[in-house]
Structure 1
Amino acid sequence: MTSSLLPEGFHDRLPPFADAAASLEARLLGAAFAHGYERVDPPLVEFFEGLAQRLKASRTIDAVRYVDPVSQRTLAIRPDITAQIGRIAATRMAHHPRPVRLSYAGQVLKLRAAELDPEREMRQVGCELIGLDNVAAAQEIVGVAVEALQAADVAGLSIDFTLPDLVDTLAAGPLSVAPERIELLKDRLDAKDAGAVAAIDARYLPLIEAAGPFAAAHDRLCAFDVGGALRSRLDGLWKIAEALDGRIAMTLDPTERHGFEYQSWIGFSIFAGGVRGEIGRGGSYTVLHDEGREEPAIGFSLYPDVIVDGGLSVPERRRLFVPIGTDPALAGAMRAEGWVTVAQLDAGDSPEAQLCTHVLTIAGPTGA
């Protein structure tokens, strides 16, 4: 029988993981709210044409599209929420003094799964700071991301920085490269293919060796910096890292570009101990206004499903079995103390059946 099967890339989230994901999301958003990031809630579906203008080409292909029976126009289910936050900031909140701080949470849907990421539907939580992308803004965004995850008890955090426009900056100036070969050069640097990089322009080979622990990689980049073209970026990156020093582990991979195609001067990926792959990413980018003007912005996205599925932020069950005849006021007092109470509704019910860790007695909770 196949009626109960789900499409590839989709799955049900069961207890206690669904509750854990909801609790994690609430703590992440709570930490963001404490820093002034107020929540917006864009719709799951938009007109494809408008969404495509704000999604970069690499992400447009991820959008599930269909024809709206009402308007007869093509609609798209969002594969990413960041572009929608940009639309809100550029239209309905265009009058708001800058910078504007916004947070969000919601489902996203991808047309197809990646080879290393089989999920097509996932939860995305994040913050966007619209109107600035300077060092101070980057320090705040990175700091809020780390603080939010630490507030949610996500351990073993590390962050990997990158400079998305590094090759473009060098190729347009001190290490000029033919325009038609720049994308290939970026791709081969990202793949750490020294032979292919040497065949295109051997002057870029030191960038492959620059990746590693942050301080050492930063020093190597400073030594490599031809004509000081990267000085402002490297100084800014150092200040951002200084604000995190001692709080989490940091690395730097200056040519990492997968997933950073639309970022400008800074990008970062966040990892957690014991979790395969990244649990979040962020960086600077631009928001497109209807009149064609671009506005600087910086933000981050976190993926609660990945964190919970990795075994992090799943609290131990603490369920209190309340036998028939127990004074309701006593059970209420236990809930006020943080217990989850599960009432016995039938004489045949038991603490084991209800996955309870404790039983409520007149003397108080006792081990089940």
Structure 2
Amino acid sequence: MTGLLPEGFHDRLPPFADAATRLERRVLDAAFLHGYEQVDPPLVEFEAALQRRLKAGGARDSVRFVDPASQATLAIRPDITAQVGRIAATRMGHHPRPVRLSYAGPVVRLRASQLRPERAQRQIGCELIGRDTVAAAREVVSVAVEALQAAGMTGLSIDFTLPDLLAELAGDLPADRLAALRQSLDGKDAAGVAAIDPAFLSLIEAAGPFDAALARLRASVHGPALATRLDGLAEIAAAVPADIAMTLDPTERHGFEYQSWLGFSLFQVGVPVEVGRGGTYTILHDDGAEEPAVGFSLFADALLDAGVGPVERRRLFVPVDADPAAAAALRAEGWVTVAALEEQDSPAAQLCTHILTAEGPKPA
């Protein structure tokens, strides 16, 4: 058993652990410049309180155990968003709205999926609490894109969805038929949708590149409230940089079961799964009141495991007889210096790309 880890857990070694830290720092720094200040909730909370805020879906992912000290049942967080909501609703309940918060840390899930076999993951994100307006959503989408670009990502794309659109359109459709309709739309089963109500076939057709999909959706969805919602979606998309590809799938619900009027997924060329997800939702207060919010979470492991994260290894070997002041000056410029501890040490042994000479750094 020496060296073995449970299924779904792994060690992250150099230089990839360093890359994970750099990715996290660049994202948080970009968010900080937009006013998002970091919170750091604990890995473990009381099960009952955490489940209440996670709602039904996330609660099933919690790893639970009995605390030997208090004999209370505790849970390891499977998601940090709910904890940020707790902080905003309690310790920062007095704070003027909106409140902008960022976070980063590990999460642990009870079960893994085929697309994401890791049970322990790093989650980075931002939450804007107190608003779910078009302006708030536009800011959050823009910050998510800017943060990924600051981390060195290129080839980004966004897929927008409208999680509660079907419920708005379905009206008084019986619950069993609505559930069957959701299932058929999730599977893009045109025959199944037509058997329930052919009018909803337009929602399958209104999927694809953003501009064309939005035009098809406008042509098939009517009513002033829905038109206003589509206008808001267009306004959000207009703020996305031109080099970011955008698509629209108005009925996509996987991962958006608890979002309200807007959801979005972030993708990166070369990564087989989404690298982030966000949207509008509500946080729960202790008195049962729901407060609007909008935010996003990024999944660092997906980027790093695909080899598109900021993996850098520029190391300067400092021989035994080198000038310590010269090495210190180079560290101030951003160099990583690795000092030889004995004459036999070498750049290759210390995984160094450069060596410090009297003329300065030279390739090793």
State the TM bucket, normalised to the shorter chain: over 0.9
Alignment of 1:293-308 (within 5 A): 293-308=289-304
Alignment of 1:166-245 (within 5 A): 166-172=165-171, 176-245=172-241
Alignment of 1:151-162 (within 5 A): 151-162=150-161
8 Å contact from structure 1 (residues 170, 229) kept in 2: no
**Deviation of 1:245 (Å):** 4.6
**Structure 2 CA distance, aligned partners of 1:253 and 1:56?**
25
Q: 2:250 aligns with which of 251, 254, 259?
A: 254
**Structure 1 CA distance, aligned partners of 2:208 and 2:181?**
20
Which residue number corresponds to residue 78 of structure 1?
77
How many equivalent residue pairs?
364
Which residue number corresponds to residue 339 of structure 1?
335
**Structure 2 CA distance, aligned partners of 1:55 and 1:316?**
37
Structure 1 residue runs of 4 or more that deviate by more than 2 Å after TM superposition: 226-229, 313-316
Unaligned runs of 5+ in 1: none
Which sits farther off after the overlay, 244-253 or 274-283? 244-253
Per-residue CA deviations over 1:153-202 (Å, capped at 9, x if unaligned) read: 11101000000001110112xxx421222222112201111122122222
**Structure 1 CA distance, aligned partners of 2:197 and 2:342?**
77
Unaligned runs of 5+ in 2: none
8 Å contact from structure 2 (residues 283, 292) kept in 1: yes
**Structure 1 CA distance, aligned partners of 2:319 and 2:5?**
38
**Structure 1 CA distance, aligned partners of 2:133 and 2:246?**
20
8 Å contact from structure 2 (residues 22, 310) kept in 1: no
8 Å contact from structure 2 (residues 152, 310) kept in 1: no
Per-residue CA deviations over 1:10-52 (Å, capped at 9, x if unaligned) read: 1110111110110010010001010000111101011111111
The reply on whether 1:352 has 2:358 as its aligned counterpart is: no
Residue 74 of structure 1 aligns to which amino acid in structure 2? T
SS in 2 for 1:271: strand
8 Å contact from structure 2 (residues 27, 151) kept in 1: yes
8 Å contact from structure 2 (residues 58, 78) kept in 1: yes
**Deviation of 1:228 (Å):** 4.1
**Structure 2 CA distance, aligned partners of 1:50 and 1:249?**
39
The reply on whether 1:292 has 2:288 as its aligned counterpart is: yes
**Deviation of 1:227 (Å):** 3.4
Alignment of 1:39-78 (within 5 A): 39-78=38-77
Which residue number corresponds to residue 269 of structure 2?
273
Which residue number corresponds to residue 34 of structure 2?
35
8 Å contact from structure 1 (residues 16, 314) kept in 2: no
SS in 1 for 2:211: helix
8 Å contact from structure 2 (residues 54, 82) kept in 1: yes
8 Å contact from structure 2 (residues 16, 311) kept in 1: no
Question: What is the Cα-based RMSD across aligned positions, in Å?
Answer: 1.1
SS in 1 for 2:42: coil
8 Å contact from structure 2 (residues 151, 310) kept in 1: no
8 Å contact from structure 1 (residues 169, 229) kept in 2: no
